[in-house]
Amino acid sequence: MSNQIKTVIFDLDGTLVDTIEDIRGALNAALESFGKTPVTRDQIMGMIGGGVDDMLYEAIGESPIVFGDFKSQYRQYYRANIDKFTQPYVGIKPLLQALHAANVKMAVLTNKQTDPAKRLVDLFGFSTYFEIVAGPEYYGVHKPDPAGLIQMMTDLGATPESTVFIGDSEPDVQVAAAAGVRCVAVGYGYREASVLAGLNPWRLVMDVAALHVLLVETSLD
């Protein structure tokens, strides 16, 4: 049927897994190594979504820190501590299992680099569910540039009409709109629900339980 959800593409951080404290720990370790003030949880929540470089540039501001050195410090710490606090959101694995059982194709499109994204997907036993896990270097663009999402759908044999994109931040809603794909914005991630609602996603849900009902039991009417 034309109104079935046949493909679901997920963002990663703030959508499938809560990575905020491990990212904050790595960023603060880098900041402190250069004599800078650490950031709070609230501060970093507003910095995530556009990719690691955007976050790091915002963190150092006008400081004369050499960006490459700062990024190297951040990446070294994060790679060594990627799963210290990170966990999937409650209900994510049953959701993936249900979609898999319904023969829905799934993939991850994230602004996180592909290697750490795959590490987390593997760590939590999700790799069997996703045909593709792609960071920005995979297709050569960051969200909200739609070229990556469009190519991913081609690689999956999917169409915009039967695809849903799930994400928690502005680039997620924007990339879906630019690619002609319905977007479900999740209010349990790293953006306020009011911010997401202002971007006019197809649907806005506030927890994984509601996301499960929407994806498993709802058509695209």
Comparing CA positions, the residue from 138, 151, 142 lying closest to residue 170 is 142
Of 11, 18, 22, 172, the active-site residue reads 11
DSSP 23: H
The tokens of 215 are what? 């994806």
Number of residues in the chain: 221
122 is catalytic: no
| Whole-angstrom distance, CA of residue 106 vs CA of residue 10 | 8
Is the CA virtual torsion 181, 123, 136, 167 positive or negative? Answer: positive
DSSP 129: G
| Whole-angstrom distance, CA of residue 55 vs CA of residue 46 | 9
| Whole-angstrom distance, CA of residue 30 vs CA of residue 69 | 9
Place of tokens 């994109």: 165
- Enzyme catalytic residues: 11
